[in-house]
Homo-oligomer: A and B are copies of this chain.
Amino acid sequence: MRRTSRDIRTANRYEVLRHIIADSPLSRRELAQLTGLSQATVATLVTELLDLGLLTDVGFEDSEGGRPRGLLAVAAGRGALVGVDVAETYVHAELFDLSLKVVARADREVRPGENRPEQVVALIADAVDEVLAGHAGRVLGVGVALPGQVDREGGVSVYAPNWDWHDVPLRALLAERVDPPLHLDNPLHAGTVAELWSGAARGREDAVVVNLGTGVGAGLALGGGLYRGIGNSAGEWGHTTLVLDGRLCHCGNRGCVETYVGAPGIMLNLRELSPSSPLLHPDDQTATVRALAAAAAAGEPVAVQAVRDTARYLGAGIADLVNLLNPEVIVLSSWVTTYLGELLLGEVRTAVARHALRHSLARAEIVLSPIPTDPVCLGAATFALERALAPTPTMRRTP
């Protein structure tokens, strides 16, 4: 890929807006210092963002005797974004202002077996309707993250292993219920972009975002940007082999990482230790993971051992990422991390150290996602914001 001057300009727009979202108000001079861009470039980019209605002047600071400097902030109320996190067990929709703060939120449960495309579309549309119910202003876009492999240009769910979906034209189905522009992608990519804009990958050169949910995956932020692969399917770490000829996976393969560290895999780790454990809720992954976390935190030996076994598998899988990609930071995210992250972290670091090459290990921090809300909703909304910032006619200038 030969990057063009236009790509760089778009990237620089993102960069300026990211800094203002994180640290506003800022002067143009501060922006130049923070971004490393020239003051002239910053001035041009700021003018464009003001014209697009994304920024606003918020007064002046005294510059010690010199000319007072204009301060800039995000025009938070001048538009809204919706981000939707569709997972195997739930749909979360969040409404964001332009500073990427959550303004409203709606949740739906995806009950076991109720995952046909029309059922999932109805849940998404209901949740989006709910967050937009009290909103009067313009909506710049709706981002939807769907499990599995997604053709984002075509708006198609190519393959969702846990639902056995193949080539479902989800954007077209959704468009009957939700106003465009609609941006589809997968939760790996959404979670990774959230970490790049607002989380642990900010300012990092090479980062990996490990999503632990029903399915698992590794979003790749390489060279400071999301790495997608040739067919937008990079990151399927959950379907790499950890144990050749091991546990059977939904994907048809055996011994995939996902079968040991995804929520059903963690249930199996527990069941292997104690087939009749009262922590097991056979039809409810969330309840099981929550019960396991509570019991392990209370020191219950079987629960502690199940967490340890999970950490050992997870550490071996993360060491593969450290050795192959030599990243600066590995971020643990998604709902299983919310429940088990603190309990897993120490053991995972020990297990990674046992498997990874010393030189690569020395550069790799392993942290929990610092994003306090749902990172996938945030990332899906960020995709909508990125599309709005790209120099294409997806957004009209404000009058």
Enumerate chain A interface residues (CB-CB to B < 8 A): 1-5, 8, 11-12, 15, 35-36, 149, 158-159, 205-206, 218, 220, 222-225, 227-237, 239-244, 246, 251, 253, 313, 316-317, 319-320, 323-328, 354-355, 357-360, 362-363
Contact = CB atoms under 8 A, between A and B. Distances in A.
A146 B354 CA distance: 25
Tally of this chain's copies: 2
Contact of A5 (B5, B239, B242): B5
Contacts of A218: 324
23 contacts: A2-B8, A2-B36, A3-B8, A159-B358, A229-B325, A229-B360, A230-B328, A230-B363, A231-B326, A231-B359, A231-B360, A231-B363, A232-B326, A233-B360, A235-B324, A236-B324, A239-B323, A239-B357, A240-B320, A241-B317, A244-B313, A244-B316, A320-B320
B12 A224 contact: no
A223 B234 CA distance: 12
Nearest to A149: B359
Given A1-B224, A8-B8, A222-B222, A327 B229 contact: yes
Given A3-B3, A222-B222, A241 B355 contact: yes
Contacts of A231: 326, 359-360, 362-363
Contacts of A235: 324, 326
Contacts of A15: 2
The 10 closest A-B pairs by CB, nearest first: A229-B326, A240-B320, A236-B323, A1-B224, A233-B326, A234-B326, A1-B223, A230-B328, A231-B363, A243-B244
A253 B326 contact: no
A4 B35 CA distance: 12
A57 to B, nearest CB: 26
Nearest to A313: B244
Given A2-B15, A8-B8, A230-B328, A159 B240 contact: no
A196 to B, nearest CB: 12
